[in-house]
Amino acid sequence: MRPEPIADRYELVEQISSGGMGQVWRGYDGVLDREIAVKLIRTDVISSAEEAEEFAKRFRREARITARIQHHGVPQVYDAVLDQSYDRVYLVMEYVRGTSLRAYIKPAQPLPVSWAAAVAAQICTVLSHAHAIPVVHRDLKPDNVLVTDAGAVKVLDFGIAAILRTDITRLTATGQALGTHRYMPPEQIQGAQITPQSDLYALGCLLHELLVGMPLFQGGNEFELMKQHVYDAPMPLRKLRPDVPESVEQLVLELAAKSAEQRPRDAYDVYERLLPYLPPPGAASPPAEQLPAGIPDPTLLYRRPNSPRPRTALSPRVAHGAGTPSQAPDAVPATALGHAINDAVAHSNDLLADERYAQAAEALQHVIEPAAAALGLENPRVLQLRQRRAAILVIGGDFREALPEFDSLAAAFARTEGPNSDDAMACLRQAAHCRAGLGQATTALRQFRQVLAHVRAVEGDASTTALELRRDIGMLLLGERNVDQANEVLLPLYEDLCLVYGPDHEESREIGDILTRLKLAGKG
């Protein structure tokens, strides 16, 4: 059972992670119908009203400061909600899809120097913006860094450690320093002043780990690890990996200096020292066999700065783990599945009525996957659900995701019901509509004409569907500046609209006005 919406607006869909600072959920903003991340920060015991009020003030202050970091490498803060009991606080933020930097750390396969430098350099750009406010992260670690498919680094959880820090009000039972000891600077371990250089120490720990696949200090236990950070000298990188450039080794040693004053002056200085190891714009990627597999390339941002969206085609989401058509329909309890489908459809309809299209489509997706796994991807009921979901995506304007699903559905209905079946033609028409919206005019015209030929043979040239298709074709031709062909379609369409609906009907007048403008433009 899902939790109740937060502030009567933010709905929690699924828990993403859970840790010492609380939970992270994927959800939706019910007003804007957009995907969000919600951090449910669980406070420890607050023993008095004074402590609760102090916590509330700190929460609001830190949330506002964090929201001031205007950088693409920091997920935007949309809202901050503190419940009346002060038992929980919620940060509503931009939802980021990416790969955790933890996946990049492999002792058997340390990162190429350019990859490690690209990650660290991007983190530096984020820190430079944050430290200018100033906001200190206090808990920089691989788990708080994501890399998107485009190679962009996103630094998460700014302000969270500050909200929960223990130097203002005692909010933890043990009074322990907050942060992750494997990346914590000596001054933070000892409870001294935290500064931007504290984040640079953590960055040095992170860069060391990316380059050798092992932490700067490992420690047999938590106490030993903290002692090493405070007193022990780190192992130079080149003793662990000889191919690391001397200047990179020196940079990491300076970042990991025990005294904050001995570390680089600021994040910009670190960025400058990493520049020689970043690929220039237009540089080719090394051969695939020389690079880590299965994780995004963080140098892509430098090799192809501000590049267009990749042309990678989307595949229907249901295809992932959805099962095969050969599975028996009785492989799952029919009653439970039937109830789940009915509930999902009803929930989707409610969301659709509120014009929350993204959520309405996702409500169906949640039941499509188990239904397809049990009944098969081309089971009639599953196909109906898929078709409904894809139609909702179109209503919401998401042509890019709807298109591959309608292509898949048109092929599936052609196999199961026949190539000229109503469902196959309906999906082909929707695919054409998506292609028209995405600028794929040539293919869209071919598909519209294919559907129109079928409709004409079955219903005639003046049926409602035929008239709509003729209009779609004419307008698409007009948009492509094929004026003569557009005229050949729109003029007889206008005559038929006048016969069917009358010359004063809205649709008749619209096409008539277009033809008048074309005629005047031709005379000019």
Residue 19 β-bridge partners: 22
Give dist(CA 120, CA 155) in Å, integer. 11
Helix (DSSP H) and strand (DSSP E) numbers for the chain:
19, 8
Query: Which one of 29, 139, 407, 423 is the catalytic residue?
Result: 139
Per-residue DSSP letters for 114-182? HHHHHHHHHHHHHHHHHHTTT---S---GGGEEE-TTS-EEE--TTHHHHT-TTTS--SSS-PPPS-GG
3-state class (DSSP) for residue 234 = coil
Q: Virtual CA dihedral for 108, 111, 116, 122, nearest 10 degrees?
A: -100
Strands 88-94 and 99-100: unpaired
Q: Which residue has the tokens 């001397």?
A: 246
Give dist(CA 446, CA 473) in Å, integer. 9
Give dist(CA 28, CA 348) in Å, integer. 14
Number of other CB atoms surrounding residue 43 within 10 Å: 20
With CA atoms as reference, report the closest residue to 468 among 511, 431, 521, 439: 511
Tell me whether residue 398 is one of the annotated catalytic residues. no
CA distances from 415 to 69, 83, 222, 410, 412 (A): 53, 54, 62, 9, 5
Give dist(CA 448, CA 473) in Å, integer. 7
CA distances from 438 to 67, 166, 431, 444 (A): 34, 53, 11, 10
Contact of 91 with 38, CB cutoff 8 Å: yes
Structure tokens at 278: 């970043």
Number of other CB atoms surrounding residue 506 within 10 Å: 8
Structure tokens at 241: 């990996």
Longest dimension (CA), the chain: 91
Per-residue DSSP letters for 352-376? HHTT-HHHHHHHHHHHHHHHHHHH-
Give dist(CA 391, CA 26) in Å, integer. 24
Contact of 368 with 386, CB cutoff 8 Å: yes
Structure tokens at 445: 């015209």
Using the 8-state DSSP alphabet, how is residue 24 labeled?
A: E
The residues that are catalytic are: 139
